[in-house]
Amino acid sequence: MEDKKKAPGIYEDVLNPALNERVKKTAEELRALAAQDREAFWAEMSKNISWYKEWNKIFDDSKAPYYKWFLDGKLNACYNCIDRHLSSWRRNKAAIIFEGELGDSRVLTYQDLYREVNKLANVLKGLGVKRGDVVAIYSQMIPEAVIAMLACTRIGALHSVVFGGFSATALQERINDSKSKVLITADGGYRRGKTVPMKENADKALADNGCPSIEKVIVVKRTGQDVPMEPGRDLWYSELMEEAELHCEPEVMDAEDPLFLLYSSGTTGKPKGILHTVGGYLVGVHTTFKYIFDYQEEDVYWCTADIGWITGHSYLVYGPLLNGATSVIFEGAPDFPAQDRYWRIVEKYGVNIFYTAPTVIRMLMRWGEQWPASRDLSSLRLLASVGEPINPEAWMWFYKHIGRERCPIMDTWWQSETGMILVTPLPGDTYLRPGAASWSFPGVEADVFNEKGEPVKPGEEGFLVVTKPWPAMLRTLYNDEERYLSTYWQQFKGAYLSGDGAKRDEDNLIWVTGRIDDVINVSGHRIGTAEIESSLIEHKAVAEAAVIGKKHELKGQAISAFVTLRDGFDGSDELIAELKQLVVSKIGALARPEDIYFTSELPKTRSGKIMRRLLRDIAEGKVLGDTTTLMDPAVINSIKKQYG
Ligand code: WTA
């Protein structure tokens, strides 16, 4: 950022409190190199990864939008995350510090991680998992989940991590779409003093041959709760590991071989498997972790994300391990046993770099500054945020009460699809602007387009796009090429459509304003309106449903559902409760509608499309814009009456 003190009409800039010559020089050098030659920049960055065989062409766009990076390069992700650190003193460095909900703690050095991962890789091989097979991982936050991810990549299998908060039905769908061969889960997990029934959910998903592709289920003992084990199918992790061989040669993978699948919600239909490949993903994630978090060898890094989401993949597992970092893995919730859980952890381990989400920050704000104030947070030196737009108030609170006005905040914008952070300030920026994700990362070309596909002028809003391919980009949607093309590449020729809106401010900084498609962002979790609607209409009383995300002070957005009933059914509180429960059982608690309204009709265009935007405006109490395209404008008044 230029040395400009204040942008007119916008939140006042904050002088970067941690600015020093080193980070300043790094930012300048990175930006200069990327500006001069983008491909040369990524070529340079690729040298920080270990290759069995170097790539011979950096980039190929001959089959756009199926882009390729680092062609003919050979490497292994697990080798890069673990083995290459073993030849130095780092082998005895903590790779993972696990903090359990019970206050139990476990440290795994790189050597420990090597041993555990190799053994599990051999176990998987022994169960018949081969290169290219998919292994589903359904777990809470325990070290074994990370070990499982790495064991897959060691043998060239793809992991498909399913967030531990998803229901049995959601797990089943993801297993079946990916045809996962093995499922790795746990007996249970701890959350807010209760146990979460992981194995029980998994059993429900698998019952009655619900997941025909699954041959074996590996169960980690975490809670020790009694769980039925199906003979021939279910195996205890600990027993398998006891007998496993200590060394497993990593598979030599092509840069463009698949690395993992991660299911994520889109605007239509069911969640889709986002496919990432080995070479580009590793280079992108290594580079962004190193420079955005300014990771230094002795730092303790903590990302509060769950491995069930992309942030957990890129910046809890791969980014830190590729850089030989020490990171904290945390099980549980920020308010259990008390609302200072996070600050106790920062104090306990001397956390230096802390990466979390705006929804968490807003919650912490509500709980009050007495909680962080009573803990020693002096180890912190850099803060970062991801998952949704951070409002300037939350930014300032984070800055003051957690960073104590000493730590810069990196507001990082990216997506499951992008694999790596694309828009963010750098620690070497002189000024930070609260609420603005700010700039494209060096070597990335994010932009804001108007409807005609032209870059907007300063002060204008539009679609957030990426105009040049980047290494860690998704390669396709698993089993759905059509949707890959139509979702991301159809609207603007040659540019990737993110689904987010953004504006350029007077100084050309990017402010992400949030989703402008039918994806809802609840507490930083992505949910498609279509998924919730199709759960609702499974109820016999429901004729039609429209779901929207309406502004919510803490969660960013909350789910509201508008439902029309079949003849002979009446809306009641019992029915509302039943419908909410139905959604929880189909998707998970994260998708539970905050409110459900019964309406005699839904507003539709003349071609029959439900106008969700109008419903959102009603729900948020906004003045309604043009309603002339409605089939029956009277519908609006009747809904408004009911709503009010
Ligand atoms: C939102 C999470 C504003 C955005 C990494 C995006 C953000 C969606 C930011 C992707 C940010 C993420 N500012 N919005 N810094 N970071 N988002 O796939 O709407 O779970 O499209 O990836 O989160 O969610 P996903």
In this structure, the residue with its CA closest to atom 6 of ligand 1 is 415
Q: Is the pLDDT of residue 7 over 50?
A: no
Averaged pLDDT for residues 68-72:
98
Q: What pLDDT does 284 receive?
A: 98
* Measured distance CA(566)–CA(149) in Å, rounded: 46
Strand 525-528 to 496-504 pairing: unpaired
Residue 229, classified by CB atoms within 10 Å of its CB into exposed (0-12), middle (13-18) or buried (19+), is: middle
**How do residues 434-472 score in pLDDT, each as one tens digit?**
999 999 999 999 999 999 999 999 999 999 999 999 999
Residue 540, classified by CB atoms within 10 Å of its CB into exposed (0-12), middle (13-18) or buried (19+), is: exposed
Query: Are 532 and 583 contacting, i.e. CB atoms less than 8 angstroms apart?
Result: yes
Q: What pLDDT does 11 receive?
A: 64
**Mean pLDDT score of the chain, rounded to an integer?**
95
Instruction: Identify residue 356 by its one-letter amino acid code.
Output: T
- Residue ranges of the alpha helices (H) in 71-224? 77-81, 110-126, 143-154, 168-178, 198-206
**How do residues 501-527 score in pLDDT, each as one tens digit?**
999 999 999 999 999 998 999 999 999
In this structure, the residue with its CA closest to atom 14 of ligand 1 is 388
Averaged pLDDT for residues 137-149:
98
Q: Is the pLDDT of residue 635 over 90?
A: no
When pLDDT is cut at 50, 70 and 90, the band that residue 159 belongs to is very high
In this structure, the residue with its CA closest to atom 12 of ligand 1 is 387
Q: Is 311 in the pocket of ligand 1 (CB under 6 A)?
A: yes
Phi, psi values for residue 637, rounded to 5°:
-60, -40
Residue 91 is classified by DSSP as G
Phi, psi values for residue 540, rounded to 5°:
-65, -20
Least trusted range by pLDDT, from 11-15, 240-244, 409-413: 11-15
Q: Is 420 strand, coil or helix?
A: coil
Pick from 161, 150, 473: nearest CA to 322: 150
Pick from 116, 139, 96: nearest CA to 328: 96
Q: What pLDDT does 621 receive?
A: 83
Residue 13, classified by CB atoms within 10 Å of its CB into exposed (0-12), middle (13-18) or buried (19+), is: buried
Q: Is 70 in the pocket of ligand 1 (CB under 6 A)?
A: no
Averaged pLDDT for residues 271-292:
98
Q: Is the pLDDT of residue 641 over 90?
A: no
In this structure, the residue with its CA closest to atom 15 of ligand 1 is 413
Q: What pLDDT does 1 receive?
A: 46
Give 144's contacts (C-beta < 8 A, 6+ positions apart).
184, 186, 220, 237
**How do residues 544-565 score in pLDDT, each as one tens digit?**
999 999 999 999 999 999 999 9
Q: In this prediction, what percent of the chain has a pLDDT beyond 90? A: 90
**How do residues 352-370 score in pLDDT, each as one tens digit?**
999 999 999 999 999 999 9
Report angle CA 192, 198, 200 to the nearest 5 degrees.
Answer: 125
Averaged pLDDT for residues 175-192:
97
* Measured distance CA(322)–CA(46) in Å, rounded: 12
In this structure, the residue with its CA closest to atom 10 of ligand 1 is 415
Q: What pLDDT does 10 receive?
A: 52
**Helix or strand holding residue 63 (H, E):** none
Averaged pLDDT for residues 290-298:
98
Q: Determine how many CB atoms are found less than 10 A away from the CB of residue 595.
A: 14
Measured in Å, residue 543 CA sits from the centre of ligand 1 at 33
CA 578 to chain centre: 30
Measured in Å, residue 580 CA sits from the centre of ligand 1 at 26
Q: What pLDDT does 587 receive?
A: 96
The token pair at 22 is: 């080193």
Q: Is 416 in the pocket of ligand 1 (CB under 6 A)?
A: yes
Residues forming a β-bridge with 107:
97
Q: Is 136 strand, coil or helix?
A: strand
Q: Is 550 strand, coil or helix?
A: strand
Q: Determine how many CB atoms are found less than 10 A away from the CB of residue 591.
A: 25
Q: What pLDDT does 611 receive?
A: 86
Measured in Å, residue 94 CA sits from the centre of ligand 1 at 30
SS3 content of the chain, % helix, strand, coil (to 5): 30, 25, 40
Q: What pLDDT does 198 receive?
A: 97
Q: What pLDDT does 267 receive?
A: 82
Q: Is the pLDDT of residue 63 over 50?
A: yes
Q: 112-118, long-range: CB within 8 Å, 24+ apart, which pairs? A: 113/82, 113/147, 113/150, 113/321, 114/82, 114/83, 114/86, 115/246, 116/143, 116/147, 116/241, 117/78, 117/82, 117/147, 117/150, 117/151, 117/154, 118/151, 118/154, 118/245, 118/246, 118/247, 118/248
Query: Are 383 and 407 contacting, i.e. CB atoms less than 8 angstroms apart?
Result: yes
Q: Is 368 strand, coil or helix?
A: coil
Of 415, 417, 423, 498, which is best to mutate to test ligand 1, by the most ligand atoms within 8 angstroms of its C-beta? 415
Q: Is the pLDDT of residue 5 over 90?
A: no
Q: Is the pLDDT of residue 626 over 80?
A: no
Q: Which residues of 627-639 are buried (b: 16+ CB within 10 A; e: fewer)?
A: eeebeeeebbeeb
Pick from 254, 260, 242: nearest CA to 279: 254
Q: Is the pLDDT of residue 124 over 50?
A: yes
Measured in Å, residue 387 CA sits from the centre of ligand 1 at 4
* Measured distance CA(138)–CA(164) in Å, rounded: 6
Q: Is the pLDDT of residue 606 over 90?
A: no
**What atom in ligand 1 is closest to the CA of residue 309?**
20
Report angle CA 190, 194, 197 to the nearest 5 degrees.
Answer: 70
Q: Is 230 strand, coil or helix?
A: coil
SS (H, E, C) 235-251: EEHHHHHHCCCCCCCCC
Report angle CA 509, 510, 513 to the nearest 5 degrees.
Answer: 140
In this structure, the residue with its CA closest to atom 1 of ligand 1 is 388
Q: Is the pLDDT of residue 543 over 80?
A: yes
Q: What pLDDT does 644 receive?
A: 62
* Measured distance CA(6)–CA(44) in Å, rounded: 35
CA 271 to chain centre: 14
Q: Is 389 in the pocket of ligand 1 (CB under 6 A)?
A: yes
Residues forming a β-bridge with 60:
68
Q: Is the pLDDT of residue 41 over 80?
A: yes
CA 357 to chain centre: 11
Q: Is 512 strand, coil or helix?
A: strand
**How do residues 566-581 score in pLDDT, each as one tens digit?**
999 999 999 999 999 9
